A and B are shown apart, each in its own frame.
Chain A
């Protein structure tokens, strides 16, 4: 079977095309290494490309990510496979790995597609848009989002009615339903794992009512509402389209909570919630914003000043543990919480609640390594075997970890971690030539 597969050779396989994987790939490519970057989504850029702004500088996230993603895409030493996954990675010897890469059909010739979106206009289907976290629809023939890279159409074959409307309007004739799944055998010398993180699913805490009460959203949904490529015309309640004027944030949703299996702090929720609160006060000047927190962890450079700035702007901080959320007939929400400082249970009414969901490990990559064990830490992130001297080192020599695959961290730390992974990979590859 393997003899029939197309075989490729690269220096490094980078699994995951988010900001950490991208940074590693770019650094390695600039040093002359041939890199294969494998991304399961149809676009590289990870979660960062979908954010509104970054904390504590309030710089536009897309303005930082887009040039980086573009640089990655244009580097001749980097080959990008989107819609692809590493199915099996085998260590054959010192600086010798073999990987089987599964590439799913996009049903579009990416090289030929101009991103004109005529297929999108012609497609009669409308389904929930996962890149807008289910707040709006998208077509079955679609460009994932405006700043996607590659900016080429994708056919959602699960929801396509195969009417052929997209094909008929495509000027370069780049839609091709004859595409099939392909497997490639890739020979590499080293691997960087940058598989990122998953967000906590608040359906696991039924007392918060997410999914039942439509005006309770996740912080990522609010992130989309705040982004320039937002799903609505402005910030609206998903339950009825009302412009909210009293918004609550519930921090530590799915973090620091043994009952949901995630006892650790997600490190980013306090600061992204404070960031969103500041952005909301800009977008909705008359709105009241309340943040219910256990502890504010403002540990990075400029973070505490950012927190103080939010307080000065009028964001209310209540040290309180949310118990239950119920809905009133008008769609407003009653939040029952323990006021920790007063030691009493209180209730407060808000017209929208944002659950600041935590960071979970993106599991599955350890099973891909078939003859060596990629060890995980007690929280199922990839274990850093020498965290101080060699932070990218894993239990397999020649396999390095970058970004949130090793634990929760913010964007600057993810980029630093990507840089560390590329430096350690370079050192590992150069040792062979010494």
Chain B
């Protein structure tokens, strides 16, 4: 069967349904990303401040925040007065580079 170039994902999706855990994982990431970006819209914050505000574990906030830093949604600000935690701020109004 000839599959049109650029539309091959649809072809595989018909043959191989996406597992529920994978879509669940995507929902979790999308939700956490939205929460973090909304929290940072107001002002720049540290990991403990974000964790407290969002009631999320600090290690989870760091993991997601560093992923958003890598994907270009946030950027690093100054370090706090105690030289312990960095502030992170929203970049390009939280919009994807693409």
What is the interface of chain A, defined by CB distance below 8 A to chain B?
A: 118, 121-122, 124-127, 135-139, 158-164, 166-170, 173, 175-178, 214, 231-234, 236, 238-243, 286, 331
Q: Contacting A173 at CB < 8 Å: which of B5, B67, B71?
A: B5
Q: Which 8 A-B pairs have the closest CB atoms?
A: A137-B67, A241-B47, A164-B9, A240-B58, A177-B8, A177-B12, A121-B98, A162-B13
Knowing A167-B6, A242-B85, say if A232 contacts B29 (CB, 8 Å).
no
CA separation between A331 and B47, bound complex, in Å?
13
CB of B25 within 8 A of CB of A159, answer yes
Is B63 touching A137 in the complex (CB atoms < 8 A)?
yes
Q: Can you name 14 A-B pairs with beta carbons within 8 Å?
A: A122-B98, A124-B30, A126-B33, A136-B63, A136-B70, A137-B64, A162-B13, A164-B10, A167-B6, A239-B62, A240-B47, A241-B48, A241-B61, A243-B84
B29 proximity list for chain A (CB < 8 A):
125-126, 137
In the complex, residue of chain B having the shortest beta-carbon distance to the beta carbon of A161: B18
Cα A39 to Cα B81 in complex, Å, equals 48
Interface size in chain B (residues, C-beta < 8 A): 45
Q: Known: A233-B76, A236-B62. Is A241-B22 also a contact (CB below 8 A)?
A: no
Known: A121-B98, A177-B9. A240 touches B62 (CB 8 A): yes
The answer to whether A176 and B86 have CB atoms under 8 Å apart is no
Task: Determine chain B's interface SS by DSSP, over half rule.
Answer: helix
- A residues in contact with B12, CB < 8 Å: 162, 177-178
Given that A136-B70, A240-B59, A243-B83 are known contacts, is A127 also in contact with B25, CB under 8 Å in the complex? Answer: yes
- For the complex, give the distance between the alpha carbons of A126 and B69 in Å: 13
Number of cross-chain contacts by CB at 8 Å: 122
Answer whether A240 and B66 are a contact pair too, CB < 8 Å, given A162-B9, A175-B8: no
Contacting pair A214 B5 (CB below 8 A)? no
Which chain B residues numbered 4 to 26 have a C-beta less than 8 Å away from chain A?
A: 5-13, 16, 18, 22-23, 25-26
Cβ distance B65 to chain A, nearest Cβ, rounded Å? 7
B53 located at the interface, meaning its Cβ lies under 8 Å from any Cβ of chain A in the complex? no
Whether B26 and A124, one on each chain, are in contact in the complex, defined by CB atoms closer than 8 angstroms, is yes
Which residues of chain A come closer than 8 Å to B93, judged between CB atoms? none
Besides the known contacts A164-B10, A238-B59, 6 further A-B residue pairs in the complex with CB atoms under 8 A apart: A135-B63, A135-B66, A162-B13, A169-B98, A173-B6, A233-B69
Contacts of A236 in B (CB 8 A): 62, 86
- A residues near B65, Cβ cutoff 8 Å: 241
Which A residues touch B84, using CB under 8 A? 242-243
User: In the bound complex, how far is the Cα of B69 from the Cα of A232, in angstroms?
Assistant: 8
Q: With contacts A161-B26, A243-B84 known, is A167 near B9, CB below 8 A?
A: yes
Task: Please provide the chain B residues from 44 to 63 with a CB less than 8 Å away from any CB of chain A in the complex.
Answer: 46-48, 51, 58-59, 61-63
Q: Are B7 and A164 in contact (CB under 8 A)?
A: yes
Which residues in A have their C-beta under 8 angstroms from that of B5?
173, 176
B79 within 8 A of A: yes
Residue from the list A166, A241, A286 in contact with B86, Cβ < 8 A = A241
Residues of B within 8 A of A167 (CB): 6-9
Query: What chain A residues lie within 8 Å of B72 (beta carbons)?
Result: 121
Closest residue on chain A to residue B62 by CB atoms: A241
User: Chain B residues near A214 (CB, 8 Å)?
Assistant: 58-59
Nearest CB in chain B: distance from A32 CB, A: 39
Mask: chain B, 31-43; 1 = CB below 8 Å from A; 0 = not: 0010000000000
Chain A residue contacts of B30, Cβ below 8 A: 124
B97 partner residues in chain A, CB cutoff 8 A: 121
Q: Measured between C-beta atoms, what is the minimum distance from A409 to chain B in Å?
A: 33
Complexed CA–CA distance, A252 and B25 (Å) = 36
Q: Considering the chains assembled together, what is the distance between the CA atoms of A124 and B69 in angstroms?
A: 15
CB-CB under 8 A from A139, the residues of chain B are 71
Q: How far is the CB of A410 from chain B (nearest CB, A)?
A: 31
